[in-house]
Amino acid sequence: MTNSNLISILVLLFSLHYLTESSKLSEAELKSFFDNDYDQNETYWCTKLQEANWEFESDLENSEAEENLVNVILQAAEYNKQLWKMYFKDVTPDDYQDPDLKRKVMLARMLGKSVLENDKLAELTNITNTMVEIYSTGKICPYRKKNCDISTEGYNLDPDLNSLFASSRDYNELSYSWKAWRDQTGGKMRSLFERYVNLSNEASVLNGYQDNSEEWLVLFESLDFIKQIDDLWLQVEPLYTELHKFVSSKLKARYGDDLDISDGLLPAHILGNMWAQEWTNINEHVKPFPATKGQNITDALRKKGYNVKKMFETSDDFYKSLGLLPNDMSYNTAQGAIIEKPKDGREMVCHASAWDFCDRKNFRIKMCTNVNAEDFITIHHEMGHIQYFLLYKDQPVIYREGANPGFHEAIGDTIALSVDTPKHLHKIGLLDEYVDDYQTSINTLMSIALSKVAFLPYGLLLDKWRWDVFKGKITMNNWNTHYWEYRKQYQKLKPPVERSENDFDPGAKFHVAGDVQYISYFVAHIAQFQFFKSLCIAAGEYDPQTKYQPLHKCDFYQSKAAGEKLRAGLSLGTSKHWSVAMKAITGQEKMDAGPLLEYFEPLYQFLKSFNQVYNSTI
């Protein structure tokens, strides 16, 4: 037994001894409990869980690390269950007067998966770990060598298939690779996923919910949350429709007879991304004004001698320029961060993530970074998580979360919207020439729309599908069909090859395999434009009355006033309802697609007239 195992068992025994019988604490007692024992014990378990998870995810073939993770999860669950029985089983927020205490009781009562009996919790953990392993270690033979030795010649997702989808324009190579990846990942998870759904639902029912989807949505603290996001989609759908039409016409011109779009649907494999969730990589082929000079940022990064570390430092500089906190520990490999794929062939979860070890000092990024424009933006995304961790680190541990999960996903993206302007790229030497004319503007907006607008229906549908699964609205023999119904309805996409119920295409996406809810990214893609607009106004880079300079040209680099806005909202953590944080950052309480539409307005007008003319000529 390792030292840390021994310590954790001692802490557990101490905790169990201490928690002997149920008691309803008075207002003062509960307050003191939250401030002291609760905070210390939760911090302890939070750190232990993060450490164990990190060890597992950064070395997937280390069975000791996997075993340890299961043990720590079981021990933490045991502690949580005892705590719940002792202090929270018989109380509700209404039993207390102080609004802060009410909120803490509401949050502390959430037991999550810990509610399950040990054997079921261990089974569920093992299932999720196995799905993550299948996803993260999946390999396929290359198109031109279908009978390869997979261990030496196989393509992995990161970087092989990601770069293949970004750069190949070979219709058949892409459709072969698209299918092969799904065969090797999702297709191998069907029955695991079935058990995962049942066990997750079982836990949620024990926690008093109808099913797991209901439990997921509690974190958004809005009774009409689904209506809110459906309304947001209706607001942005016309913009997506025009973008889809435009991209379809450009791709038709490129692929000719290979591409049949007579049904109004695009095949999902030619959009520059394995999941067709964002289309930036086909930018060169759909540029509205192809003759206008632009610069490829990937080339610029390489030409200017950027390495991975320099990309992180550049992002860190941006945050610091706003008067926000230095992020350097998060990408310091001497302090444990992993920012490049290990060269020793070790298998790990490469999907980028940011980690808070709950000790107020240890924050890390884990990412298999490559020197390219996409990863440069992802770095800013991950640094946004770290900045959030840092800004709420002095809150009690129970409040160290995003105002809602969508906020966490929106921060780095807000920063990246400013970084990704030609004006800023020019400032930091990644763009030689900054031409401020109409054609360049539309080209730039298109490139951002391929990432942000194209993402919206995907961000919405993935969890619509999972909610239906958890609710039992669809049964297992309809899972894949239903998924493609949603892909068709929202994204106007179709599979490039025939699908059946032997396939399980949702499982070929990290967040499905890894039990990570996804609607937060949809929320983030709306909210980041609200945050962006507000930071631009604070920086004096945008005037909503005169609109003298359009919103998409704003760069709030070095604006301490913009930094202050973010700080005010983010340092709250989840201590208040998210509408309070929203108000602190934007001045208004609700989610609103208005700023996104305002940002893309010039592009929307361009697309509408282009599509009208195009339609009348075919």
Taking CB atoms, the residue at the shortest distance from ligand X8Z is 352
DSSP state, residue 85:
I
The least distance separating ligand X8Z from the CB of residue 459, rounded to whole angstroms, comes to 7
The residue nearest Zn ion at its CB is 409
Contacts (Cβ under 8 Å, ≥6 apart) of 201: 211, 212, 470
**Binding partner of residue 366 among ligand X8Z, Zn ion, none, CB under 5 to 8 Å per kind?**
none
Q: How far is the CA of 7 from the CAs of 4, 48, 76, 84, 260, in angstroms? A: 5, 11, 13, 22, 63
Instruction: Tell me, residue by residue from 407 to 446, as one string, x for binding to Zn ion by CB under 5 A and - for no binding.
Output: --x-------------------------------------
Least distance in Å: CB of 351 to Zn ion?
Answer: 10
**Of Zn ion, ligand X8Z, none, which one sits near residue 213, judging by CB under 5 to 8 A according to partner kind?**
none
Between residues 199 and 349, which has the closer beta carbon with respect to ligand X8Z? 349
Total residues at interface with Zn ion (CB under 5 A): 1
| Tokens coding 172 | 């058949």
Which residues in 411-440 contact ligand X8Z (CB under 6 A)? none
- In 358-478, where does DSSP find H-type helix? 373-391, 405-419, 422-427, 438-471
Site track 394-413 with Zn ion (rule: CB under 5 A), x = hit: ---------------x----
CB of 353 to ligand X8Z, least distance (A): 6
In the complex with ligand X8Z, the residue whose CB is nearer, 381 or 400, is 381
Closest separation in Å from C-beta 196 to Zn ion:
22
Nearer of residues 381 and 565 to ligand X8Z, judged by Cβ = 381
State the number of binding residues for ligand X8Z (CB under 6 A): 6
* Interface of this chain with ligand X8Z, residues 188 to 217, rule: CB under 6 A: none
Residue 349 beta carbon to ligand X8Z: minimum distance, rounded to whole angstroms: 11
For residues 236 and 607, which CB has a smaller minimum distance to ligand X8Z in the complex? 236
CB of 571 to ligand X8Z, least distance (A): 21
Q: Among the options 202, 382, 401, 541, which is catalytic?
A: 382
The single-letter code of the amino acid at 479 is W
| Residue 352 site contact among ligand X8Z, Zn ion, none (CB < 5 to 8 Å, cut-off depends on kind) | ligand X8Z
81 binds, among Zn ion, ligand X8Z, none (CB under 5 to 8 A by kind): none
269 labelled catalytic: no
SS3 sequence of 184-244? HCHHHCHHHHHHHHHHHHHHHHHCCCCCHHHHHHHCCCCCCHHHHHHHHHHHHHHHHHHHH
Task: Specify the residue, 331 or 521, whose C-beta has the smaller distance to ligand X8Z.
Answer: 521
CA distance 469 to 211: 10
Residue 185 structure tokens: 């990942």
Q: Nearest to residue 523, comparing CAs of 468, 463, 479?
A: 463
104, 117, 298, 340 from 502: Cα distances, Å: 45, 32, 39, 35
When the beta carbons of 245 and 366 are compared against ligand X8Z, the nearer one is 366
Residue 521 binds ligand X8Z, judged by CB under 6 A: yes
Site string for Zn ion, 3-42 (x = CB under 5 A): ----------------------------------------
β-strand partners of 156 = 139
Number of H helices, E strands in the chain: 25, 6
Write down the least CB distance from residue 217 to ligand X8Z, Å: 19
How far is residue 241 from each of residues 19, 27, 449, measured CA to CA in Å?
A: 58, 54, 12
- Listed in sequence order, the DSSP H helices in 25-117 are 27-33, 39-57, 63-83, 99-108
Q: 3-class SS at 585? A: helix
By CB under 6 A, residue 578 contacts ligand X8Z? no
Question: Which of Zn ion, ligand X8Z, none sits in contact with 521, Cβ below 5 to 8 A by type?
Answer: ligand X8Z
511 part of the active site: yes
Task: Compute and round to an integer the Cα radius of gyration of the chain.
Answer: 24
Residue 483 interacting partner from Zn ion, ligand X8Z, none (CB closer than 5 to 8 Å by kind): none
Mention every residue, 6+ apart, whose C-beta is less than 8 A from residue 475: none
- Residue of 378, 444, 530, 574 interacting with ligand X8Z (CB under 6 A): 378
Q: Which does 463 bind (CB under 5 to 8 A by kind): ligand X8Z, Zn ion, none?
A: none
Question: What, of Zn ion, ligand X8Z, none, does residue 378 touch, CB below 5 to 8 Å by kind?
Answer: ligand X8Z
Nearer to Zn ion, 409 or 515 (CB): 409
How many CA atoms lie within 13 Å of 265's alpha carbon, on the beta-carbon side? 17
Which residue carries 């990161």 as its tokens?
158
Cα 200 from chain centroid? Answer: 21
Residues 258-297 that bind ligand X8Z (CB under 6 A): 277
| Partner interacting with residue 12 (select from Zn ion, ligand X8Z, none; CB below 5-8 Å by kind) | none
The minimum distance between CB 162 and ligand X8Z, in angstroms, equals 11
CA gap 562, 538 in Å, rounded: 5
**Of 347, 511, 564, 601, catalytic:** 511
Q: How far apart are CA 186 and CA 508, in angstroms?
A: 4
Nearest distance, CB of residue 316 and ligand X8Z, angstroms: 18
Q: CA separation (Å) from 500 to 181, 196, 261, 484, 485? A: 15, 21, 21, 10, 13
- Using rule CB under 6 A, residue 352 touches ligand X8Z: yes
Under the phi-then-psi rule, with left for phi > 0, alpha for psi from -120 to 50, and beta for the rest, what region is 256?
left
Contacts to Zn ion from residues 117-136, by CB under 5 A:
none
Which positions touch Zn ion (CB under 5 A)?
Answer: 409
Which positions touch ligand X8Z (CB under 6 A)?
Answer: 277, 352-353, 378, 381, 521
Catalytic residues: 382, 511
